[in-house]
Structure 1
Amino acid sequence: MGELEEYNEEEKAQVEGCTKHLEQELPPKQKDPGTFTVPVYFGSVQGRALCDL
């Protein structure tokens, strides 16, 4: 029974740790930045790549 009790204590500690993180207030949502481009280089060729978050 000692091994099972030890396992249960470890599991309880993990659950308490997860609960603590879940109870923390979430940061406010940010506005959607939409799409934007970033420069890309392939050797001597330069271009722009479209990013969408």
Structure 2
Amino acid sequence: MRPPQRFNVNGYWIMQASDGWEVSDDDRRLAGPFGTQGEAEEAAMKLPRKGW
């Protein structure tokens, strides 16, 4: 079994979960689930930039 895919977008993590794609802040889901990775990326871009 492969580990879930995970990408950093706008300072948030986009992760593939069992029920779709989610936007998370290290330890909690902020948005989702989404049907596609692209939908999750769009949601992360709408959040205030985190970090840097």
Give the shorter-chain TM-score range.
under 0.3
TM-score, with length taken from structure 2 = 0.25
Greater strand percent: which structure?
2
Higher RCO (CA 8 Å, separation ≥ 6 residues): 2
TM-score, with length taken from structure 1 = 0.25
- Greater Rg over alpha carbons, structure: 1
